[in-house]
Structure 1
Amino acid sequence: MEIDYKEILSYAIILIIVLIAAQHLNVVVSGSMEPAFYRGDIVLVEKANFFGIHEFDPNSVEVGDVVVYNAAWYDQPVIHRIINITDINGSTMYVIKGDNNDRPDPYYVKADQIREKVVTFGDNLVVIPKIGYLSLWLRGL
């Protein structure tokens, strides 16, 4: 039996590409951002720090950007929209809110809490509808 190193290398490259792509997809677990995206949708994200690669700078996010951040009030990362940027005692703070929520999230957010930003194409968020339901089901959500 002969080993085909080109075939093994091609499978390894495909596996690496799939693993990198999977790290840039985020399953939506609630309806807090409707109608921008819904529970079970998947959003494409860029990362503030992907193994030392900075795909975007959390200090450069703007009002209207949808970000994934480590919330002080919830034990999982939250995907919501920046609705205001303010300065408090010399620190830039972000007011963040789910589009479908009545009120902003309960605490200001600092740039170092922002992990990811949802990718836009033109003015549209990059969303893959509904295929995240399998992930939600497997995770018991």
Structure 2
Amino acid sequence: MFMDEINQLRRMGFRAILLQALNLATIIAGGLMGWKALCLATNSESPIVVVLSESMEPAFARGDILFLTNFASDSYEIGDIPVYKIPGANIPIVHRIIHSHTSTVTHPNGTTTETQLMLTKGDNNPTDDLGLYHSYMRGMKWLKRDMVVGKVRGFLPHVGYVTIVMNDYPQLKYALLGTLGVFLLFNKEQ
């Protein structure tokens, strides 16, 4: 069977193979440009995320896809659900704000800066995230606004479970990508 594919590649010729490769590159580039456009439109480095744990049940289950925005004008109130990244943490965290206040800092040049500080907690967790903050940054007591990736604006239940399976079983991911590549290469229009 593998020899049939190699013979088919030989019959296609260099130009046809190059055309297939360029078509694949165009599809990949289009997807990346679409993602970047979505990042710009939502002002978020990651406008779509997948829930990876059960910490926010019953609001969100593992595998739900969340849609985020992060506009400078967005205010974060108690009860809102931000997605945030703590420096040193690999993955974003989705938890609800349980406390919020503003800190004012006066600089030596006389200007003042206000920073929103928040405390979060997973709906399904027994305690707030203070211990989580400390585990990544010693002495951190509050989540700062600049650590927020975005505010949850909507979700699709369980659709992101495919992403979790692909991360848990990387061999499956590479097998599917390889199969897709072979399918695209050998199913050209006649």
Q: Shorter-normalised TM-score: what interval?
A: 0.5 to 0.7
Trace 1:1-141 onto structure 2 (pairs within 5 A). Answer: 15=31, 16-17=33-34, 20=37, 23-46=46-69, 48=70, 56-57=71-72, 60-71=75-86, 74-87=89-102, 91-106=115-130, 107-119=141-153, 126-140=154-168
Shift of 1:108: 1.4
Alpha-carbon distance in 2 for matches of 1:108, 1:116: 17
Shift of 1:20: 4.4
Which residues of structure 1 form unaligned runs of 5+?
1-10, 49-55, 120-125
Sequence identity, in percent?
33
Q: Which moved more, 1:71-80 or 1:127-136?
A: 71-80
Change (3 A) 1:24 1:75: closer
Higher relative contact order (CA 8 A, sep 6+): 1
The count of aligned residue pairs is 116
- 1:74-113 deviation per Cα after TM superposition (whole angstroms, max 9, x unaligned): 4321111111113467553201111111111014101111
- Computing the radius of gyration over CA atoms, which structure comes out larger, 1 or 2? 2
Higher strand share: 1
Report the AA paired with residue 47 of structure 2: H
Alpha-carbon distance in 2 for matches of 1:136, 1:63: 29
Alpha-carbon distance in 1 for matches of 2:150, 2:127: 22
Q: Secondary structure at the match of 2:146?
A: helix
Which residues of structure 2 form unaligned runs of 5+?
1-26, 40-45, 106-114, 131-140, 170-190
Change (3 A) 1:17 1:65: same
Conservation of the 8 A alpha-carbon contact between 1:58 and 1:115? no
TM-score of the superposed pair, with normalisation by structure 2: 0.52
TM-score of the superposed pair, with normalisation by structure 1: 0.68
